[in-house]
Amino acid sequence: MDSEKDIKKVDATPTPEPKAIIKKGEKYKAVALEDIPIDERQNYVMLMRFGEQPIYVPRYGKGGIYKVSDLAAVGTSNKSISKRMSRFLRWYMSPKVETIEELDERIIAFFNECQELGDSPTYEKFCLALGVTTSKMKEWCRGLSTSEAWQNRVKLAVLLISGVEGERAAEGEILANVYMFRAKNFYGMSDKVELSIASQNKLGDTEDEDALVKRLLESTTVIDTAKNAEGVHVMKEQLC
């Protein structure tokens, strides 16, 4: 029988819960990294605030980050975010349209649903509805690897989306800077005019002077003129 000295004492004292850093107005429980046991750190999410040291918030449970509305965008409720997510998920993993008939049906279904639900027809959501990436949509709009009819349909649909967002920006529903960014990246707009000037008659830089003069004379039409009775220069043929 083992003696009392050979029996290892087991510390039955539970691990103390990390000290919570609760700030006024916050509903979640944030803790410092050093207060979290190493084997429990995967259950916390790091939260960064400008000018402050990072803190850690539980993922789930009472005071968890996924149960708190404070961390949502300013003026946005959890209910609103859930509604937006459900509308995006409505089109997520949609099969890619393969025929012009499928394209027409999907475009009509997309815009009809946005109208019925009062949902914003965004460029990203439209890409999801057609089952393609934003890069593929840009290729379609440029007419790459697709027919002219296909290109025209998607360009008109994107134009409609751009128009809706443009009106919302004009009415203050979307920040002007946000719309400008989207217009440049998604709708092909630009706030500058680029001119491309090309010479139709390249003189080249390898010819000597005599050859260059000869080529210029050969490509130049000489018009022989003379003064008429009124003293105006006209072609000689017109004096006859």
Write down the domain spans for the chain: 14-71, 78-186, 209-239
Please, are residues 46 and 58 in contact by the beta-carbon 8 Å criterion?
no
pTM (whole model) above 0.75 = no
**Whole-Å CA distances, 103 to 65, 110, 132, 179:** 41, 11, 12, 27
Give the 3-state secondary structure of residue 159: helix
Per-residue pLDDT of the chain (240 residues; tens, 9 = 90+): 455 545 445 455 554 544 444 444 455 567 777 888 888 877 777 776 666 777 777 776 666 655 544 444 445 566 777 777 887 888 888 899 999 999 999 999 999 988 988 888 999 999 999 999 999 999 999 999 899 999 999 999 999 999 999 998 888 888 888 888 888 888 888 766 666 656 555 555 556 777 777 777 777 766 666 666 676 666 655 545
Please, are residues 129 and 136 in contact by the beta-carbon 8 Å criterion?
no
212 Cβ neighbours under 8 A, 6+ residues apart: 203
pLDDT at 193: 62
Q: Which two tokens stand for residue 120?
A: 């914003």
Chain centroid to Cα 233, Å, comes to 63
Q: How far apart are CA 229 and CA 216, in angstroms?
A: 33
